[in-house]
Amino acid sequence: MKKIGVLTSGGDAPGMNAAIRAVVRKSIYHGIEIYGIKNGFQGLIDGYIEKMNTGSVGDIIQRGGTILHSARSEEFKYDEGQQKGIEQMKKHGIEGLIVIGGDGSFRGAQKLTEKGYPCIGIPGTIDNDIAGTDFTIGFDTALNTVIEAIDKIRDTASSHERTFIIEVMGRDAGDLALWAGLADGAESILIPEKKDEFEEVIDRLKRGQERGKKHSIIILAEGVGDAFDYADKIKEKADLETRVTVLGHIQRGGSPSAADRVLASRLGAQAVELLLSDEAGKMAGIQNNKLVRHNIADVLEEKHTIDFNMYQLSKELSI
């Protein structure tokens, strides 16, 4: 393989730039020409392709977002769009592609691989919702952003003796809420994987009120439902007024944490190695701090799960 491409797709995540940098520099290290495809799969269809060099990725390791930009492409979900993408790669002589993104992006990568066009996936999403890897690029930074915000809310919660519901991102995964809750000593954590525990949360709030507890923090993963609806439910069931804060897109931005930069550098370099070793259709991941590879097809099949021991611990520590 002499020429390869790289793109970022789906939601942007801090650390994607560090991953692009690693892919570019590792390719050049191996004497491979590397092309950046802008705007994800849509840019691939549109031929938005540029050759990259060591300088193209200078001074980006510390920057959030993605210099290659990201986009969602409806057209690429269909055969015709994928064929257009393949034509563009053929035109540029690009023989393999590295896709940095979430599960949707991996579906696109898998389709190309099945059509004979080798792709490697790098998990990049703040949601940490990909099977076969302990962490995705962006999760640690988002977690730190959430914690910083909760610390601030905690100051006002204790000063005004209020209970806050803080809604965090994560799509259908509760990782961000769970880790943030444990890191911030939240009184209650509501995650999609344990939706049935709402009654227990109500009981805990009631017990807290009886003990004279004046303020508490409830972290709600977006996959559970709307924070304002939960505020109404809590009012109804526990006769407790709550304040709602939806953290929103602030969680996707910012300079990547050290952990995300290191993870992105390791996974970026490994993705190039996998592509050069003809390991088409693989995802570069990390498990128990060791680099691993899994078939993207298996990763998409398997459901990501949270660490239920951590969830249990969060309850034991918040009594």
Catalytic residue numbers? Answer: 127
The answer to whether residue 10 forms part of the interface with ligand ATP (CB under 6 A) is yes
Q: Which two tokens stand for residue 217?
A: 């923090």
The answer to whether residue 35 forms part of the interface with ligand ATP (CB under 6 A) is no
The answer to whether residue 14 forms part of the interface with ligand ATP (CB under 6 A) is no
Calpha distance 163→178 (Å, rounded): 18
- Which region among 9-17, 141-149, 185-193, 294-302 touches ligand ATP (by CB under 6 A)? 9-17
- Which region among 22-30, 105-113, 200-208, 238-246 touches ligand ATP (by CB under 6 A)? 105-113
Determine whether the annotation assigns residue 169 to a binding site.
yes
Determine whether the annotation assigns residue 183 to a binding site.
no
The 3-state DSSP class for residue 125 equals coil
Give 267's contacts (C-beta < 8 A, 6+ positions apart): 19, 22, 122, 123, 137, 284, 285, 286, 291
Question: Per-residue x/- mask for ligand ATP, residues 125 to 164, rule CB under 6 A?
Answer: x-x-------------------------------------
Question: Per-residue x/- mask for ligand ATP, residues 52 to 91, rule CB under 6 A?
Answer: --------------------xx--xx--------------
Going from the C-alpha of 126 to that of each of 14, 36, 123, 182, 251, the distances in angstroms are 8, 22, 10, 17, 8
Calpha distance 52→94 (Å, rounded): 13
Backbone dihedral angles phi then psi of residue 277, each to the nearest 5 degrees: -95, 20
Calpha distance 243→293 (Å, rounded): 44
Calpha distance 29→247 (Å, rounded): 41
Which residue has the CB atom at the shortest distance from ligand ATP?
Answer: 104
Q: Which of 41, 117, 135, 179 binds ligand ATP (CB under 6 A)?
A: 41
Determine whether the annotation assigns residue 225 to a binding site.
no
Q: Which residues bind ligand ATP (CB under 6 A)?
A: 9-11, 41, 72-73, 76-77, 101-105, 107-108, 111, 125, 127
Please report, in range form, the residues annotated as the binding site for substrate. Answer: 125-127, 162, 169-171, 222, 243, 249-252
